């Protein structure tokens, strides 16, 4: 079954870039604009991987990660933090909360795919969409 | 037990520059005197020139400096300001790296006077940071440049970008990345602070002048027909 990947970022630009990065692979990318929306989508869709920003309005990524890890049915979903914040204390705190991996913005598509493919199976997409790169 | 060095290696994180660490350690000491700080600054010619530029805001060239020594400049700006100036190095690195990685464009730091002021309509972005260090990072670029940059980031033809919100969101995200990297360096230097979401909008005329107190450093970047102006404004330092 195709992997479900949830991208949680308040920036539409980043959500578009994440969706585009996974277009060549047989997977579904879901989107949320903040941690609160992210938790709701995670509960409803049970994604295989969450790509999570830190600084967001309404609910930030650290709070969402904390709540996710407290949730008995969601706590095993692996999370890759995708953030511009690389401060030592933040990284340590987020690692302790249970983030699987950490990717610092600015980032390249292949870095994101490399980290994601170590967690979920990403077979190449077949069909016209893959051929057109769309 | 988590070890930061192991984590940093695993995650591919870049450490804070040594010069910033040295200054932070020195400034954190209660007994650090001006001479000791001046010695560290003087050992870095680039930092020295940038400090003198901040201390001589009316000078249009380095020959017009009336404050000529590092000690005089430190007295004028406050010792805390020099740490923020040292942060200008990683800020510059963050801007160059962000444009290279996200935009696919090589920009290089140029003298701020070589980029003409934005007198007509342009895109203006701002992110404030507050905490042990308080201030803001501003970014300016012309509308055509913003459109070109956004198209490059989104890998979309420029004429497909009809929605101005897409352009402002993209520029805002670039600014967020740069400021997020900058904030991380501040935190690593012991200056814990938070950043606010970016505010990006069209300005019909030049922005109002920055506050006279505190430190203001102007940076400019150019590459392949793209010119970007960045201003780092640091509020008066709470010594």
- Is residue B135 situated within a structural domain? yes
Q: In whole angstroms, what is the distance from residue B193 CA to residue A14 CA?
A: 24
**Looking at residue B83, which CATH number applies to its domain?**
3.40.1550.10
Bridge partners, B49 (sequence order): none
Note whether B203 and A46 are within 8 A (CB).
no
**Range of B177's domain?**
79-234
Evaluate whether residue B40 is within a structural domain. Answer: no
Mean of the per-residue pLDDT values of chain A: 92
B147 phi and psi, to 5 degrees? -65, -45
Task: Answer whether B114 touches A (CB < 8 Å).
Answer: no
CB contact under 8 A, A84 and B2: no
**C-alpha closest to that of B75 among B34, B132, B25:** B34
- A positions 105-134 inside 8 Å of B (CB): 105-108
**CA angle centred on B180, ends B175 and B184, rounded to 5°:** 150
Please tell me which residue, B211 or B138, carries the higher pLDDT value: B138
Q: Is B190 left (phi over 0), alpha (psi -120 to 50) or beta?
A: left
Q: Per the domain annotation, does B20 fall within a domain?
A: no
Structure tokens at A86: 């690389």
Phi–psi pair at B106, nearest 5 degrees:
-90, 110
**How many angstroms separate the CA atoms of B44 and B51, rounded?**
11
- Tell me how far apart the alpha carbons of residues B10 and A123 are, in angstroms, rounded to a whole number: 25
**Eight-state DSSP code of residue B210:** P
Instruction: State pLDDT tens for residues A77-133.
Output: 999 999 998 888 888 999 999 999 999 999 999 999 999 999 999 998 876 655 554
Q: Which residue of A has its CA nearest to B176?
A: A84
Q: How confident is the model at residue A20 (pLDDT cuts 50, 70, 90)?
A: very high
Query: Rounded to an integer, what distance in angstroms lies between the CA atom of residue B64 and that of residue A46?
Result: 64
- Is residue B187 domain-resident? yes
The pairing of strands B135-142 and B215-223 is: unpaired
Per-residue model confidence as pLDDT tens digits over B122-165: 999 999 999 887 889 999 999 999 999 999 999 989 888 878 89
Longest dimension (CA), chain B: 60
DSSP H or E stretch at residue A3: strand A3-8
Note if the bond before A106 is cis, omega within 30 degrees: yes
Our CA-based measurement puts residue A44 at a distance from the nearest CA of chain B, in whole angstroms, of 28
- The dihedral sign for the CA sequence B30, B36, B37, B43: negative
Q: Is residue B217 part of a domain?
A: yes
Q: Is B194 helix (H, G, I), strand (E, B) or coil?
A: strand
Task: Indicate the number of domains in chain A.
Answer: 1
Q: How far apart are CA B228 and CA B95, in angstroms?
A: 10
Give the count of domains, chain B: 1
- In A, minimum Cα distance to B171 occurs at A13
Greatest mean pLDDT range, B7-11, B53-57, B118-122, B125-129: B125-129
Give a yes or no: residue B12 inside a domain.
no
Question: What predicted TM-score, i.e. pTM, was given to this entire model?
Answer: 0.84
Q: Which DSSP category does A37 fall into?
A: H
What mean pLDDT is predicted for residues B78-100?
Answer: 83
A16, A18, A57, A86: best mutation site toward chain B, by most B Cβ within 10 Å? Answer: A86
Residue B201 lies in a domain: yes
Residue B224 clears pLDDT 80, i.e. is over it = yes
Question: What is the b/e burial string over B102-139, where b = at least 16 CB atoms within 10 angstroms of the residue's CB?
Answer: bbebebebeebeebeebeeebbbbbbbbeeebbbbbbb
> What does the pLDDT read at residue B236?
61
B73 belongs to a structural domain: no
CA distance A78 to B81: 42
Q: Residue A134's pLDDT is what?
A: 45
Which band of pLDDT confidence, cut at 50, 70 and 90, is reported for residue A31?
very high
Q: Which residues contact A73 (CB under 8 A, 6 or more apart)?
A: A46
Q: Domain range for residue A70? A: 3-132
The reply to whether residue A105 touches residue B177, judged by beta carbons under 8 angstroms, is yes
């Amino acid at each position: 079954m195709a992997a479900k990947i949830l991208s949680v970022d308040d920036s539409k630009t980043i959500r578009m870039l994440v969706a585009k990065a996974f277009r060549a692979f047989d997977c579904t990318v879901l989107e949320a604009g903040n941690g609160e929306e992210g938790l709701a989508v995670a509960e409803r869709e049970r994604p295989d991987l969450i790509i999570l920003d830190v600084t967001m309005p309404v609910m930030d990524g650290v709070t969402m990660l904390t709540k996710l890890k407290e949730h008995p049915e969601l706590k095993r979903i692996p999370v890759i933090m995708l953030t511009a914040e690389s401060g030592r204390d933040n990284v340590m705190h987020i690692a302790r909360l249970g983030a699987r991996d950490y990717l610092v913005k600015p980032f390249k598509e292949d870095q994101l795919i490399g980290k994601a493919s170590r967690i979920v199976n990403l077979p190449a997409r077949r069909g016209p969409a893959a051929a057109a790169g769309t | 037990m988590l070890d930061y060095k192991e984590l940093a290696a695993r995650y591919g994180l870049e450490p804070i520059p040594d010069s910033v660490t040295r200054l932070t350690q020195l400034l954190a000491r209660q007994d650090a005197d001006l001479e000791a700080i001046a010695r560290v600054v003087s050992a870095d010619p680039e930092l020295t020139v940038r400090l003198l530029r901040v201390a001589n805001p009316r000078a249009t060239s380095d020959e017009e400096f009336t404050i000529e020594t590092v000690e005089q400049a430190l007295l004028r700006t406050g010792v805390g300001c020099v740490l923020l100036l040292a942060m200008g190095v990683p800020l510059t690195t963050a801007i160059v790296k962000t444009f290279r990685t996200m935009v696919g464009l090589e920009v290089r730091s140029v003298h701020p006077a070589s980029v003409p002021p934005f007198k007509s309509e342009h895109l203006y972005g701002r992110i404030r940071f507050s905490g042990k260090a308080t201030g803001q990072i501003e970014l300016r670029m012309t509308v055509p440049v913003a459109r070109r940059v956004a198209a490059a980031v989104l890998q979309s033809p420029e004429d497909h970008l009809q929605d101005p919100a897409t352009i402002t969101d993209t520029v805002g995200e670039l600014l967020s990345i740069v400021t997020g990297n900058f904030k991380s360096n501040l935190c690593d230097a012991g200056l814990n602070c938070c950043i606010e979401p970016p505010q990006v909008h069209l300005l019909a005329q030049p922005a109002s002048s920055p506050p006279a107190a505190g430190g203001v450093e102007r940076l400019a970047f150019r590459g392949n027909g793209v010119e970007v102006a960045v201003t780092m404004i640091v509020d008066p330092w709470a010594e």
